[in-house]
Structures are given as C-alpha cells and as structure tokens.
Structure 1
Amino acid sequence: MMHSEMSRRRLLGLGIGLGTAATLTLAGCGGGSSSDRGATAGNGGKDYTGPKVDLKLWNGFTGGDGDIFKKLVEQFNSEHQNIAVGVTTYRWEDYYVKLPGAVSSGNGPDIAVMHMDQLATFAARGVIAELDDVAKALAFSEGDFAPTVWKGGLYKNKRYGIPLDMHPLGFYYNRSVMQKAGLDPNKPPTTRDEYTAALTELKKSGVQGFWVSPFQFTGGMTFYSLLHQWGGTLFDAEVTKATFNSDPAVEACTWLVDMIKRGHSPANVGQDADYLAFKSGKNAFHWNGIWQINDLKKNTDVQWGVSPLPQIGSQRAAWANSHNFTIVKQRGADNNKISGAKVFINWLSQHSADWAAGGQVPARKTVRDSAEFTALAEVNALAPELEYAAFPPAAPGLGEVMTTFYSSFNEAALGKKPPKQALDDGVAKANKQLEDNRKKYGS
C-alpha cells in the first residue's frame, strides 16, 4: 500500500504532462467510424445473453488493492461464461498517459477505471462514453450512493462514471505517544480546541505532535481539507476563477503554518517523513489517505487508531477522490461488448464490500450498510466522511491547476512566502491556466 500511495503522488504531480498529452492525442478520439457491430443482447447492465465477448480492462491498482481487484475479476469470469474480462495494470501516472494514444490508435481498453478528477478531461475529448442509460436501466439514483460521490460522475449534466468507491483523508493517532503525554489514547481530538489542547500537552512531554509536510502528500491535502472546513473553495462555481486566496483559505493556510512556528512541527519536513515519524513514535497525529490502513495493520508494534478528520474550521470537510468505472469509446462500436461491460460494472459495484478490504469506502449504500463492510472496522471508521467529502470539481484539464494550488501551499509551508502572498501568486497563475483550459477544451 505504501507503493500504491507513492504511485498516487507521482501521478498527481504530473498535472502539466497529463494535460499536454490529453491535448495532443485526444482530439482524434471519438470522431472516427462508429458503425455498430452486431445487435445488442443486453439491457443496460442487468444481464447479457449474447455471444461470448472478450473485454479489455485497464486500471492502475499496483499495490495490494490490485491483487484484490484481480481476484474479483476472476470470480466474475467464473460466474459469466459469455463474458471474459482481461485485466491490464499500469502505474497510474503511466496509465493516464498511455490511454489517450491507445484509444486513438484503436488499441484501447473496453473498460477503464478512472479517478473522478480525470473524468471531465476524458469526457471532453470524447474518449469515454455516456453512461446515463446504465444508471437508468439499473435504477441507480443519488439515494443509492452519497450525493457527493454520485454527482462527481457527471460532466455537463451527463454521466460518464459509475462510482466504485471513495478514498478520503483520515486522521491517524498514535496511542502510545498520546498515553505518554497523559492523553486518553482512546479519545482522539475531534475539535479545534481539543486538538490545540492535545498538541500543548504533547509539546510539554517533548513531542512535536503534528508534523506539517510541505508536499501534496500529505500537507497539501490537509490544507485542501482545512480550506473547505473554513468554508472556502478552490474555484468559483463555474470553475472559471481560482478562489484559494480567499480569507477562509488564508486563515486555513495560516493555521497550518503556525503549527510549525509554534513548535508543533519541525520545519522543512521531508517527503514521507511525517508518516515515518508517526510509525516510529516521533509524532502523535497524522493526516493521510485511507490507503495507509493496510500498511499500518502490518506494523503490529505500532499502537494506532484512525478516525474522521477533526473539525478545525466551521464545518466538516475532508479531501477525497473516487474510482469510477468508465466505458471507452471505440472506432467501431461493438454493442455486445458494450453490453457485457455494463454487466461487469454492475456486478463489481454489487461486490464492492470485497473491494473495500483493499482500503476503500464502497460508493454503493447497500454495500456500506452490509455486515461485511461493518466488519472492516478501520475502513468503516472513515465511511462517515463520504457525506461531506470535498471532491475536485468536474472540469477538464484541472490537473496542472491543482499542481499550482499545491505548489502555493508548499511555498507557504517552507516559509518562502507569507500565506497570503503565496496564495495570491498561485491564484494569478491558476487563473491563466484556467483560461488556457477553456480555449483548449472548448468549455
């Protein structure tokens, strides 16, 4: 899972490269021949009775979650004699670069797993197909999921993704370090006052309790969460202007920078040093993704717990992303393959309690309410965050703009600029990038 987390970091650090690749290669996608081959033998994902189809599925699950995913695919294949799904796995940062060219040349997959923040880009360039008929045929609605994750699959009011899961930021606490400082190891702080009081006691015992990373993983994601907790947003409603230099954003950024100034965190924390310090008992509190749960469970000498993020601002919020299933457009559409793909997407959605063991909160409400998911105590502890998850907006080409956002926080956390100046400079750059995206993607 540590390897998987590294891959996520490398992917999200490639915003400019991914945007460029999409611009250069996606323009030709979806504009070729669209002749149908064969009459469809499906009904929007409920079942498939046609001839056997071989489907290609691409994903980026390179960590322990990949083994779980492959086992689920094997189970599906054993239960469906007329559908055979073959899995190809790439590192996420390679995956999104390879996909446009493969689709353009006619060698793309039939099904692609995609992060929510990538859907708009690939939808805008005609690489993935609309899935409103799947949602309608399966009687899916917002009530079957959580509003935040369901709406995240939309682009221009059309559905392009069927959500599989949600992976949020969680609050990890080291019980041993808390106990040594006289804190109750079974009562992690949940409010700003409790958090401040706990850090004060930790500092008295000689512990810098909350290490603030200047990098996207994990400081930038922490700032993303706090900005929303203070009531701010990264962009305006139309995603035409960056707003992460608003008063709430500056206040949230200043609160984090003050953690360093007040001695609750070292300065210039190295990449992953905050997580390694947590595991070695050098700090008490750590904000990181749900995907770290399985890694921590392997470290039996670390006494730890996990809970939703403390509410530091005026409302609850947590950084989150989501894996969605998409159906890739082909030069010549085979309706039988499309029907088979819909059956697979529906089946895996129904079996996402097994997928949750890889460190994901199932998007489907019936699965979250199941005894199987409840038994996954640590993952289930972060399920409440689904209701107030702060997902990225549905806008094409947003990767490079998000890189600018995280770079702005980096400058503030490293003391290169005061928080207000760092965010003002970042917004100025981000607005130019957003303007370029409107020209690039025609929206």
Structure 2
Amino acid sequence: MVHGEFWTIKDLFVLPNEYVYWSIQIVLYPYMTGLVAGAFVLSSLYHVFGVEKLKQIARFALVFSFALLPVAMMPLMMHLQQPLRGTNVLMTPHFTSAISAFGIVFMTYACIVGAEIWFVYRKFIVDSIHRLQAKSSRGPGESLLLLIYKVISLGAMDLSKEALEADHKAVKFLAGLGIPVACFLHGYAGFIFGSVKANALWMTPLMPVIFICSAVVSGIALCIISYAVFMELRKWAARRNKHYFLPDALAHGSSAVDPEHLRSVQGHEVKMTSKYLLIFMTLAITLELLDIIFRGYTAVKSWDILRDVIYEHDFVKIFVLQYGIGNVLPFLMLLAPRLTTRRAALACLLVLFGVLMMRWNVVIGGQAFSLTFAGFMHYHLPIIPHDMETFKEGLGGALLVVSTPFIIFYFLNMIFPAFLEEKEAH
C-alpha cells in the first residue's frame, strides 16, 4: 500500500499518485517546536526584561521548555520510514538544506537552554550536595541524587557573592541570546512551508512570522495550564501531608509547604501570565487575518482553488474551530473581569486547540487540493491501528508524542525543582 493511501479519500479530479503524505505527525512537528519556543520566551520575560511578576512561573517555564525540547524531533522520527537516519541531520550539518539548518539551530538552542538551567540552579545544586553529604544515613534515591548533583556541578562549588553575580549575568545573557534562536527554531518550520512554491496555500512570506507568533501563544498557554495543574497537585499533597507524592520532594529536602501560600502564588502567576498571553494572541490573530485578506486582495491565479478550500471545504475547521473556538472565545474569556484560575486554564486549553487547528489547516489543508486545481483530498485520522504505520501516523502516535514531555518533566523536576521560591534559587 502506498504511504498515505489508507487515510486519503479523493474527490473529483485528482492525480493517481497524489495522496495526503504529511499526516498528524507533521501537524505535531511545528506544534511541538512552537511549544518549546513559546515556553522559553515566557521564561525570558523575567530573566531578560525583568518582569518581576512572572518570577515564579518563569523558572517553571524554563524547566518545562527543556522537557519539551527532546520531543521537538520526535514527530519527524515517527514519520520517517528510516528513523535511524534522522540523526544525520544533527551529525552532518549542511548549510544549504532547510532541514539540516534545523539540526544546527536545534543543537544550539539545546546548549543554550541547558547552560541557562545550569546557571540558574548552580547554587541549589551546591547547597544540595552539602545537604546530602551532611546526612549520616542516605537512602538509595538520595545517594543517586547526590551522585547526579556531583556530576552536573562540574566542580564549580564557589558560592561567593562575585560568583553568584556572574551566574546572574550569564543567565541574562543566555536568555537574551536564546530568544532569537528559539524564534528561529520555530520560524524555520514556517520557512519550510512558505518556501514550497508548488503549493499555493503555503507560498507566503508571512508564514514564518505567523508560525512564530502562534508558537509564543501556544507555549505560554501550555505553561499556564501545566502550572495550574501542578500547583493543584502540590496543594492537594500539602493538605493531606503527602509530600512524598511530589517528584521534587527528594530534591527539596523539606516538606514544609503552605497550601494558602501555594494558592496565592498560583492565582497571581496565572493572572499575570494571562495578560501577556492576550498581547501575543492579538498579534497572532492580526497576522493570520492579514494573510487571508492579502490573499483575497491580490487574487493570484491560484486564488480560485484557495477560496474553495478556505470558504467551503475547510470553512468549519478554519472559521469555526480555529478562529471561533480557538481564538475569539478564549480571547473574550481572558478579557472578562475577575479572571479565575479555572477560567484562565479553560481559555488556555481552547487556545492550544486553536493553534493545533491552525497547524492542521496549514499542513492538511495545504494538501487538500490536487495539483490539477480541479480535485480535493480528505484526510481521515487512523483511530484504531492495524499495523505500525497506522499507529505512528494515527491517534496512538499523536498521544505518544503529546504525553512524552510530561513524563520527561516529571523526572527532570526531581533534579531541577521547577517550583523553587525566588529566595531558594540563585
């Protein structure tokens, strides 16, 4: 069976060798890289621009961005027929290839985020080494944690005022350097689509900019939801005195957590972050609408088929699901007075759905019309897999990709507690 034949339904005059080759994994590819970039931009609002109101969620966003990073390439690896060859992008860079450029930017960004986390948590790492070494009896978990901290400390045990100030300067420099790299990491995905001249829907210079803005929106929205959920778990553990339930309890070395304090911090951080989410949402919605208006005003030769796709075949997906439910509704929910944490989390969930539909409409909608300009193809997501290909390109593979960063964050939080108070970090 030809790749794509299982989930493609043809309508009218379609070429025999045309199928929807790029399925759900290619939809998730720019979606996951966008979450990485957006989470890092949120953390940089505090580290670079000094937005003190975001100091608690900024550290969480930094660690969560690092947890999302390995998943950025996972959809591509799932989509490849020979996934073991995917490492060639990282090991053999080639400056004339857009995909190879991703390998260069990806490795650069990974080094920047890893170094920034090291400088942010260096004081905590050294303090943890002294605390664990001072214990007369250590459990297996504490012994393993002590070994990890000794390795990642790299022997830098100086906690003088000058050393901590140098750490702070390094964090600010790396965060500032990481913003354009993070934007380029995701903007290049839009560049790949925008540079495909054979596809009328993708061929627009606004595509990279639209991808970047929507990436920041999705990353901030995911951080708000995740932060609210994890803080709810922490409040639940604090009320029932089950601090061992938290993955970072071992690293903290103490279990004194006040539920009222957690509630206060949660509400403050969610409300403040939602305001910045509104700013980036306004920019993203404006650019997407500007792109549609520009296409209709110029009315190039391919506009007839694009008009059928946008206003007929994908009308519900674009104007109802993407703009209505995914943009306008959460925008109004966030603008309404007396914003609560639950309402903000629900609005952010709708925002994530809207960004996912934007990626869906770009990737799947761009393949919907035939090169004959007289036929259409419809994509049906495989729900129940009957072989490995339909699992990877179906609902099972999508759920695997989406759940992986939370698993990584769970274990990463054991080493770098993402909910440290400002006084506890450097």
Query: Which TM-score tier does this pair reach, normalised by the shorter chain?
Result: under 0.3
Structure-2-length-normalised TM-score: 0.25
Q: Structure 1 or 2: larger strand share? A: 1
Instruction: State which structure, 1 or 2, has the greater radius of gyration over its C-alpha atoms.
Output: 2
Q: Structure 1 or 2: larger helix share? A: 2
